[in-house]
Amino acid sequence: DQQVKQNSPSLSVQEGRISILNCDYTNSMFDYFLWYKKYPAEGPTFLISISSIKDKNEDGRFTVFLNKSAKHLSLHIVPSQPGDSAVYFCAASAMVNFGNEKLTFGTGTRLTIIP
């Protein structure tokens, strides 16, 4: 049972336009959400996060939106740049046992920015 779902395996966006990556989750205990970016032959790197007490978090060109009622979050990148081409993973965590948290990841979305 996949608790974090990224239903779009790939996405192509024109340079300068907005990229929107989506993520859905099923576990209502999740209270912290993160986006990771991964280039080939490298480990994932943290991009941006949001806790369940917020519905929006912005960091430069990156904004994450959280809709708790729909159990949906999205990552907006604007304007999109060629260097943004990578695989983006959505991840979620539940503060069930302090000190024993773990991240549950989605399958990733490959974003390609077209020059």
Q: Which of residues 30-89 bind other proteins (CB under 8 A)?
A: 31-32, 34, 36, 41-46, 49, 51, 89
Distance separating alpha carbons of residues 21 and 91, to the nearest angstrom: 13
Nearest to 11 by CA among 72, 63, 80, 94: 80
Residues 6+ apart with CB under 8 A from 112: 10, 11, 12, 13, 85
Does position 25 bind other proteins by CB under 8 A?
A: no
- Using the minimum distance from each CB to other proteins, give the nearer residue, 15 or 39: 39
Where along the sequence are the contacts to other proteins (CB under 8 A)? Answer: 2, 4, 9, 31-32, 34, 36, 41-46, 49, 51, 89, 91, 93, 95, 98-108
